[in-house]
Structure 1
Amino acid sequence: MISKTLLLLRRVARNLVARVVFGAVLAFAMAFLSPLFEPLLPDEWEIKIGPDAVIPILNILATTMLTVTTFSLSVMVQAYQAAASQATPRAYRLHLSDTTTHTVLAVFTGAFLYSLTALVMFRAGLYPDNAAVMILGVTVLVIVAIIVSILRWIEHLSTLGSMDDTLQMVDRQARDPLYNALRRPALGGLPVAPDAEIPEAAWPLPAPSSGYLQFINMEALHDALTKADASITLIVSPGAHVLKGAPLGWVLGDIEERTALSNCFTFGEIRTAEQDARFGVVVLNETAVRALSPGINDPGTAVDVVHRLARLFSEAEPPKAQPPQFPRIEAPALTATQLMEDGFEPLIRAGAGHPEVIGTVLDTLAKLEHAEWRDLAQAARRTRAYALHHAQESIEVKEDRDALARRV
């Protein structure tokens, strides 16, 4: 379980601006600190290499890297907009965490700022006369980094923004939160019983702000409850939309610093995937529903999403009973019914009139009925009956209905 500080650091590390700024700072540091290592170089190198040998290279770097950075940014924006229009706007958010694109742009921008800074310092006479050797050595390293980044960028551009790339990214980012939620039910706390009653002495913990619940710092919350000898029963999970003042849970025990509990919850305007195990499944489903819209009319993408959902669910290990890591916290556990609702039901309603799509859904659910996770198998059986009912009501051609009936 990551802490809130680590969560914020991970978000900053994935941010495009943060990576570009880091590259720029590194470039400035290299330009300013390189003369400090100059005494380590042989004297004959200083005689052969002077500012006249380095400045033309820096001029070329400054000119070309500005052009390359501008072009790369325009390509990135167009690719992300295409992904948002063809798949779903939520896929656009996942594309924004693409580490390859961010790293390449950081190298290009950092190389531009490095060469520009070195040129200014040379022209202003801020470098000693014998610093050209060290600057040339650093420039060679920068050129090597640019070449590697260009090769990565060329390979990445071949798929950037395509439907295959978008689905693969969503699939990949859906797996870890989902499987973590199954390995650690209730976020490491005690699962809330379906028929649990709230004690009369419990008081509600209000939400400090409105928005999507993005993260619960379970460790800090449990520590605060332990100090006060209290416990809490959460009624919301990450991914839920909460209004300010609405109860997040019910606390049993007296706590003076109630804001310490509220500070353990992170809210935002959008859903994120750190703890939201259902978010990736929802994005996959939205992509399939969008593909079936009249404006796109791409049943093949919907079929692809069904197959990805099948792999995602079939490879999930059943939740296992284990001692809770945070026994003072009761939290809702992820259920197989929720996964079926998020992954298949909207798709069934949108694709009920497409025999090729609904037929794939029925075949997939039939396979999931034999899953090792019993709850998933039962949920798949119920969802399959739901899908068949929709298909029988939506498909007008009798031959198509009969073909589906034979697959049951």
Structure 2
Amino acid sequence: MVRLLEIPRTLWRKALEYWRKLKVRVALMGALAVLAMALTQPVGWLLPEELQTRLAGEAADRLLDIIANAMLAVTTFSLTVMVAVFNNVSSQWTPRIHRLAMQDEVTLHTLATFIGAWVYALMGIVLRELGVFPDDGATVLFAMTVLVLSYVGWSLIRWVLHLQTFGSLLASTRQVEEITCQGLRQRFETPCLGAEPFTGDAPERARRMTSRSTGYVQRIYEEALNAWCEDHDLTLWLLVMPGDFVSLHVPLVAVEGDLPDGAQDRLAELIVLGDVRVHEQDPRFGLLVLSEIGTRALSPGINDPGTAIDVITRGERILSLYSDETRGDEVIYPQLRVRPMDPQDLIEDLIDPIARHGAGDLDVQIQVQRVLASLSRHPDTGLAEAAAEARARAGRRALDQLEFDHDRARLEKHIAA
């Protein structure tokens, strides 16, 4: 039996997953529209009779018609803009940023608001035709419609202002940086997902449980996984982490203890696989997306080294948050064992592709040397050593590519600094 303290956290995470989907927000806004219309009649009964008959039904009819007609046009326009932006960010920056753009908070909220207001207006028109709101008792309906119209107006203004930067390179890289920093902070606030860190291999005596499908590890519900292990007196070593690609029949976990019936099904519920990577619990994915933006900017067709330099600078801010997970004192989930992140992987995800594709660009290589020199002085020795190795590696590669003596001399100064 899953412990009650772990249920709210798991449900909250699942609720956030659904909240990022457009269809869920549209359904909720539609439900709110139905609720608002349903409450209009009971509220009217509480008002004095002179207030109930203060406004004629024609006043509410005009507003309902405006909302019903305008929301179709505005929603169509917004969907057209949204699709154009999604295609633009996929073709211009990287296809991996498409899913992040689809979860844009302002876009989801605006579309859900427009469709919810349209549902409200249609219900109001239908109920008026059915005589639920008589001509001499539509004051509350009019007031509620004014509130809906005001909220729609605020959402429209917010949406127009958001379109000024939505889908641009600056907004896209900033969005990736923010979500990656957020993921790293959450990871280091609860090192190793709150489990005990382990390095090397799981014990040979532990039984390996393999994957039933092929795909990327998208989410691990560590709180429910730990509760399940406590209920059945198990100790579990996680052999994969969010972002890892898992093939069929590859070991996912090593378990010590007597496995209960249905253990494989329960494991599939708590270690979720999918066909794409997601940013939740996977900060390395954000680094890869930034790296892809930088390397694409260095392609001959685009030839934009400034974007690569901007990506490297953002990467420095992200990597400066690094903390050694093996030093975490608090273990929240004692039944779980999780491998800590390797700083070498973080450096290779972000810096190495840009340094490799931009080996012949002096400005890019100078920025690579500057950033790696700064990270090599990081308080964490693991990250500092990884940065120093990457700096030497990038320097050797660049010196092999640069042919002009003056450029080589400038780069050598930064390498020696």
Q: Is the 8 A contact 1:318 1:373 kept in 2?
A: yes
User: What are the Cα deviations for residues 198-255 of structure 1, in whole angstroms up to 9, with x where unaligned?
Assistant: 32x3221111322111111212222222233321222211111112321112222221
Establish whether residue 69 from structure 1 lines up as the match of residue 75 from structure 2. Answer: yes
Q: Give the structure 2 partner of residue 335 of structure 1.
A: 342
The 5-angstrom pairing of residues 8-407 of structure 1 reads 8-194=14-200, 196=201, 198-199=203-204, 201-257=205-261, 258-259=263-264, 260-319=266-325, 320-407=327-414
TM-score, normalisation: structure 2: 0.93
Residue by residue, what CA displacement relative to the aligned partner does 1:292-317 show, whole Å, maximum 9, x if unpaired?
Answer: 12222211111100000011112334
Mapped to 2, the partners of 1:261 and 1:197 lie a distance apart of 18
How many positions carry a matched residue from both structures? 406
Q: Which SS does the other structure have where 1:328 is aligned?
A: strand
Contact persistence 2:177–2:314 (CA under 8 A): yes
SS in 1 for 2:72: helix
Query: What is the alpha-carbon distance in structure 1 between the residues aligned to residue 228 and residue 54 of structure 2?
Result: 67
In the TM superposition, residue 6 of structure 1 has moved relative to its aligned partner by 2.4
Distance 1:197 1:69, change over 3 A: closer
User: 1:182 touches 1:334 (CA, 8 Å); kept in 2?
Assistant: no
**TM-score, normalising length from structure 1?**
0.95
Secondary structure, aligned partner of 1:263: helix
Unaligned runs of 5+ in 2: 1-5
Residues in 2 aligned to 1:142 and 1:15: alpha-carbon distance in whole angstroms = 23
Summarize the Cα distance change of 1:138–1:322 in structure 2 as closer, same or farther, 3 Å threshold.
same
1:330 aligned counterpart, secondary structure: strand
Residue 277 of structure 1 deviates from its aligned partner by 2.4
Aligned AA (2:406):
E
SS in 1 for 2:337: strand
Change (3 A) 1:189 1:312: same
Indicate conservation of the 8 Å contact 1:206/1:262, yes or no: no
For residue 129 of structure 1, report the CA deviation from its aligned partner.
Answer: 4.3
Instruction: Give per-residue Cα distances to partners, 1:161-208, cap 9 Å, x unaligned.
Output: 1000101110111012112223333212122223x4632x32211113
Q: Which residue of 1 aligns with 2:3?
A: none
- Structure 2 residue identity aligned to 1:274: E
Distance of 1:143 and 1:158 partners within structure 2:
23
What is the CA distance between 1:3 and its match in structure 2? 4.2
Kept in 2, the 8 Å contact 1:207–1:248? The answer is yes
Superposed CA deviations along residues 63-104 of structure 1, whole A, max 9, x for unmatched, are 112111111111111112211112111111111111111111
Root mean square deviation of aligned Cα: 1.8
| Contact 2:185 2:321 (C-alpha < 8 Å) held by counterparts | no
How many Å separate the matches in 1 of 2:191 and 2:118? 48
Q: Give the letter aligned to residue 55 of structure 1.
A: D
Q: 2:124 is paired with a residue of what secondary structure?
A: helix
Percent sequence identity over aligned pairs: 35
Hey, what's the Cα distance between the residues in 2 that align with 1:46 and 1:275?
54
Unaligned runs of 5+ in 1: none
